[in-house]
């Protein structure tokens, strides 16, 4: 009898070779988290539904710092497992057949903390009084067992129980909030496919304001001491949502939440249906308006239209950066063309040593990926003209809605949409070190 193989212990993304796992795709995560803010103690139960893509004698999940105490596969009383510093390996009593839908229930606990990565600390992190989860690109395993690869999207149900004084926000729609014995339980459901790095939990002593964002239910949660600044700075959010729907197509999720922490943060963070800002990003004078636009645009570019591998990250960041320029233009400030030419001049003075379409892991978050990615889109806009370009953006978000994509997918769609051969264009902008010249004539959208 032929032996049933084990699932690979990595999903094979060369940028994060130790993250992700082979042999299956996750369908859904159901997370029940009991957390004590005062002691940073997390007790969790994860119920994971997955489909095998090969016969499996064993499979692995990513899990960091937290320890599993019990694992069950398909309702078994107890399933054998082993755990290393970053992997939980499960050996079901019976092999799992090809194409089989199976369920894994994992009980785990510990004191969660961010993991160190080449890009800094990522994952579950204590604030002065509360929690922030910032998982991009490899921090999701610091708070739940998962298949931590951007292309393995799944639905989520997240329940968090913590001290009653705290507010919890997570991905999806809040469908239940109960209080018992001085502790509150917050339950959220996110049916749309979500990458692990975009799953989040935010815990703090927040006040909140509900907003109608061009027909999309919105919540702005904030530390009470920054309320006045938050109200001023996030006032454009409804107009921003309205314009982005016009420019990019329908908003892809059921709602949108913004969190402004009491702590300062180095940069704002996107999650699926959520954006997180620090107190330093609310100055009361609109100083972070471009960042607010950037994070909102990620709901289309990066969250709904996800990336198949990390080398395609310009599809997230270049698009979100260009959305900043579009919002500036729409708001009557600097045009996208003026901004593009200014940033192009700045990039000419920097080292010409990056391939934006495949920057490598050490440069994947380099600002040149963001700016040159945005310049690529502006050059494409000038080349195609506004009508064709904005039609392409809507076709892109519609054709890849809640899916993943590659640079080749975008090039192919752009060529089909425009009728032009754009191979040389994308090769020069994304796969050559030397910065191309910008086309001279910009067709400004009316």
**Residue 439 located in a structural domain:** no
Given 299, 321, 355, the domain boundary residue is 299
**Residue 258 located in a structural domain:** yes
Tell whether 163 and 238 lie within a shared domain: no
Edge-first strand order for the sheet with 201-204 is 115-117, 120-127, 130-134, 201-204, 167-170
User: Using an 8 Å Cβ cutoff, are 382 and 172 in contact?
Assistant: no
CATH of the domain at 19: 2.60.40.1730
Tell whether 293 and 391 lie within a shared domain: no
Domain count, the chain: 3
What is the reported pLDDT for 440? Answer: 83
What does the radius of gyration of the chain's CA atoms come to, in whole angstroms? 22
**Residue 124 located in a structural domain:** no
Tell whether 188 and 211 lie within a shared domain: no
Tell whether 160 and 216 lie within a shared domain: no
Given 244, 279, 299, the domain boundary residue is 299
Tell whether 60 and 153 lie within a shared domain: yes
Which residue range(s) make up the domain with 351?
305-430
CA distances from 315 to 85, 284, 353, 409 (A): 32, 31, 19, 11
**Residue 123 located in a structural domain:** no
Tell whether 241 and 378 lie within a shared domain: no
CATH of the domain at 345: 1.10.390.10
Tell whether 174 and 240 lie within a shared domain: no
What is the reported pLDDT for 6? Answer: 82
Rounded-to-integer distance, Cα 353 and Cα 397, Å: 31
**Residue 126 located in a structural domain:** no
**Residue 443 located in a structural domain:** no
CATH of the domain at 231: 3.30.2010.30
pLDDT in tens, the chain (446 residues): 356 788 888 888 999 999 999 999 999 999 999 999 999 999 999 999 999 999 999 999 999 999 999 999 999 988 999 999 999 999 999 999 999 999 999 999 999 999 999 999 999 999 999 999 999 999 999 999 999 999 999 999 999 999 999 999 999 999 999 999 999 999 999 999 999 999 999 999 999 999 999 999 999 999 999 999 999 999 999 999 999 999 999 999 999 999 999 999 999 999 999 999 999 999 999 999 999 999 999 999 999 999 999 999 999 999 999 999 999 999 999 999 999 999 999 999 999 999 999 999 999 999 999 999 999 999 999 999 999 999 999 999 999 999 999 999 999 999 999 999 999 999 999 999 999 999 986 554 43
Tell whether 254 and 153 lie within a shared domain: no
200-213 residues labelled b (16+ CB within 10 A) or e (exposed): bbbbbebeeeebeb
Locus of tokens 């708001």: 331
**Residue 182 located in a structural domain:** yes
Model confidence pTM above 0.85: yes
Tell whether 285 and 367 lie within a shared domain: no
Tell whether 13 and 147 lie within a shared domain: yes
What is the reported pLDDT for 3? Answer: 63
Tell whether 146 and 10 lie within a shared domain: yes
Q: What is the DSSP letter of 364?
A: T
Locus of tokens 């469908």: 175
Tell whether 19 and 83 lie within a shared domain: yes
**Residue 212 located in a structural domain:** yes
Rounded-to-integer distance, Cα 244 and Cα 142, Å: 33
Reported for 235-239, long-range contacts at CB under 8 A and 24+ positions apart, including other chains, are: 236/286, 236/289, 236/292, 236/331, 237/211, 237/213, 237/292, 237/296, 238/211, 238/212, 238/213, 238/214
């Amino acid at each position: 009898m032929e032996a049933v193989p084990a699932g690979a212990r990595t999903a094979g993304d060369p940028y994060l070779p130790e993250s992700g796992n082979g042999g299956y795709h996750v369908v859904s995560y159901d997370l029940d988290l009991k957390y004590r803010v005062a002691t940073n103690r997390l007790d969790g139960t994860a119920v994971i539904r997955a489909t095998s893509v090969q016969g499996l004698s064993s499979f692995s999940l990513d899990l960091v710092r937290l320890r599993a105490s019990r694992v069950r596969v398909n309702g078994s009383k107890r399933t054998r497992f082993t755990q290393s510093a970053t992997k939980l390996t499960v050996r079901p009593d019976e092999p799992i057949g090809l194409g089989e839908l199976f369920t894994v229930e994992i009980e785990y606990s510990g004191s969660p903390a961010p993991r160190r990565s080449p890009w800094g600390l990522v994952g579950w992190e204590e604030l002065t009084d509360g929690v922030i989860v910032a998982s991009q690109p490899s921090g999701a395993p610091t708070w739940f067992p998962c298949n931590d690869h951007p292309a393995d999207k799944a639905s989520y149900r997240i329940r968090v129980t913590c001290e009653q004084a705290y507010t919890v926000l997570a991905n999806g729609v809040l469908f239940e909030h109960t209080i018992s014995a001085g502790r509150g339980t917050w339950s959220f459901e996110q049916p749309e496919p979500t990458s692990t790095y975009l799953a989040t939990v935010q815990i703090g002593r927040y006040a909140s304001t509900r907003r109608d964002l061009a027909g999309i239910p919105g919540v702005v949660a904030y530390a009470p001491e920054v309320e006045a600044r938050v109200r001023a700075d996030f006032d454009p959010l409804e107009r921003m949502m309205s314009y982005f729907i016009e420019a990019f197509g329908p908003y892809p999720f059921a709602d949108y939440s913004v969190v402004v922490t009491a702590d300062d943060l180095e940069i704002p963070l996107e999650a699926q249906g959520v954006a997180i800002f620090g107190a330093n990003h609310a100055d009361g004078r609109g100083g972070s308006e471009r960042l607010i636009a950037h994070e909102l645009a990620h709901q289309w570019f990066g969250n709904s239209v996800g990336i198949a591998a990390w080398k395609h990250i310009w599809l997230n960041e270049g698009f979100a950066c260009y959305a900043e320029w579009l919002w500036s233009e729409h708001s009557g400030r600097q045009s996208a063309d003026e901004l593009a030419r200014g940033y192009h001049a700045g990039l000419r003075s920097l080292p010409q040593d990056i391939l934006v379409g495949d920057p490598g892991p050490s440069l994947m978050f380099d600002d040149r990926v963001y700016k040159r990615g945005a310049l690529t889109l502006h050059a494409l806009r000038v080349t195609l003209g506004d009508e064709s370009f904005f039609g392409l953006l809507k076709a892109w978000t519609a054709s890849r809605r809640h899916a993943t994509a590659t640079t080749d997918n975008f090039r192919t769609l752009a060529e089909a949409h425009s009728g032009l051969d754009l191979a040389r264009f994308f090769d020069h902008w994304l796969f050559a070190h030397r910065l191309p010249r910008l086309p001279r004539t910009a067709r400004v959208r009316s």
